[in-house]
Amino acid sequence: MADTRSEEKPDFARGIPSGDLPEGAMVEGTLGADKVLLLRRDGAVRAIGARCTHLGAPLAKGIVAGGEVRCPWHHARFSLETGEAVGAPAFDPLPCYRAEERDGRITVTGRREAAARPPGRSPGKVVVIGGGAGGHACAEWLARAGHGAAVTLVSDDPDPPYDRTFCSKQYLSGKAKREATLLAPEGFYQGEGPRLLRDRAVSLDLGAEEVVTAGGERLPYDALVIATGAAPLRPDVPGFDRPAVHTLRSLADADALIAAAGTARKVAVVGASFIGLEVAAAMVARERSVTVVAPDAVPLAKVLGEAVGRFVQGVHEEKGVAFRLGREVTGFDGEALTLDDGSRIAADLVVLGTGVAPRTDLAEAAGLTLADEDEGGGIAVDGNLAASAPGIYAVGDVAAYPDPRSGRRLRVEHWVHAQRQGQHVARALLGATAPFAETPFFWSGHYGTSLRYVGHAASAEDARIEGDVGKGDFAVTYREDGRDAALATCKRDQRSLEVEAAWDREGAAAG
């Protein structure tokens, strides 16, 4: 239950009647300038910060499960007891407050210090290859536990770790500044924090347990975390090697796209993928003419089904995006794309949203076991995300792990899932033994419409629709092998959270 009916929030210094906070309720109010969330669980009253430390979502619209409050927007999780951000994409803790219930009234009297988390065992020397979602999340968790100085993060990206989702959303559209993409405050990768080595790992010496870099360093490790991610695919099409043809994976890629959009008038997006459509929305925000070309009959139908795919297509068409579906690109001459029916689409900027491939070259050269192509490729890991050689782990887009709910090996290309895998490995290095059992989750923004997806389904053919897809208020359940495998929602955030929490419990029990 959330108090969202009025802009007038109660002043918790003055207090509220106990009856206004029944069992299971959440009420947002204020304490001076602070936004505070009051909750009653198992009879006890708690008070914590009311806004998610990731992007400021109102936690009163989320849920509480397993002693944690879950954010309605991007599913970050916080401990009710300590305020700690225990599940990405948030890293900073919520403030905690003293709440008192006396004579039928609840008041908040000030901030309280949360109990510190035990540091766990020493992880030894940890080398992380890759500064993306999983790599940074692993390093951050170890630093949070007091072991930052034991970590070296090797990244061939010229920028310090940043939120890659901003590259196709807020930053690309002009709604956020470049510095807003950074995942850690300035100085995090200095002093007693992890060491950020801007270099490229070129080989793994498994016998010596060392990582060799292009700059000539040999980095010894007790634990190695491979978080090399994935690289965008560039189809072998004449003209796709021209400077006007871009892919989008890194912050530098987003910089180049923004610069190119400054002089471009007509933008063609090749591929109706999530990234492709988010780029289309960002280019519309920059007042560019956009055409999306894809071989699919309906955008995103393979993942979301035809009904939701047509809904998303309609959202874009209402903003002026043109679609050429069921068509392949056969060439680009610098002025126009040529399609397989002989037609031409004028374009002075082309963006490829044609998929990615896991970066497994280091692992393959070192002899680590890879997953089969029908499992999505990537580095094969066990339930604790450990690879086939001692002391080596893989997380994120490059990792193919056993999913406890389906019993299948999955390789999932989701930002938050990669972060949570990085956090899981960090906990394992500190002594935790539970297998990885988190439910995959991603979100996708299209103008003012946000989609949330939990779980994983290889096909959208067996779908059960609740609500009205055409009106953008729905929940679609995708089934596989007689079980609910995934859920896509729009304007039903609590439902998404509740299903995710239930599947987390199911996965943990199965693992």
Structural domains of the chain, ranges and CATH numbers in brackets: 16-112 (2.102.10.10), 126-231+357-429 (3.50.50.60), 234-354 (3.50.50.60), 448-510 (3.30.390.30)
Cβ distance 467 to 460 under 8 Å?
Answer: no
How far is the C-alpha of 415 from the C-alpha of 347, rounded, in Å?
Answer: 30
Per-residue pLDDT, 43: 92
How far is the C-alpha of 368 from the C-alpha of 384, rounded, in Å?
Answer: 16
SS3 59: helix
Mean pLDDT confidence for 468-483: 97
pLDDT per residue over 377-386, tens digit each? Answer: 999 999 999 9
Residue indicated by tokens 């109102």: 58
pLDDT band (50, 70, 90) for residue 116: confident
| Element housing 226 (H / E) | strand 223-226
Q: Is the pLDDT of residue 125 over 50?
A: yes
How far is the C-alpha of 370 from the C-alpha of 375, rounded, in Å?
Answer: 10
Cβ atoms < 10 Å from Cβ of 432: 13
How far is the C-alpha of 493 from the C-alpha of 61, rounded, in Å?
Answer: 8
Mean pLDDT confidence for 17-32: 97
Per-residue pLDDT, 7: 67
pLDDT per residue over 191-224, tens digit each? Answer: 889 999 999 999 999 999 999 999 999 999 999 9
pLDDT per residue over 310-333, tens digit each? Answer: 999 999 999 999 999 999 999 999
Pairing of strands 449-455, 409-410: unpaired
Q: Is the pLDDT of residue 138 over 90?
A: yes
Mean pLDDT confidence for 408-425: 97
What are the helix (H) ranges across 287-369?
A: 301-304, 306-318, 361-366
pTM of the model: 0.96
pLDDT per residue over 251-264, tens digit each? Answer: 999 999 999 999 99
Q: Is the pLDDT of residue 407 over 60?
A: yes
From the centroid of its chain, how far is CA 143? 21
How far is the C-alpha of 368 from the C-alpha of 362, rounded, in Å?
Answer: 9
Q: Is the pLDDT of residue 2 over 50?
A: no
Cβ distance 244 to 267 under 8 Å?
Answer: no
How far is the C-alpha of 397 from the C-alpha of 386, rounded, in Å?
Answer: 15
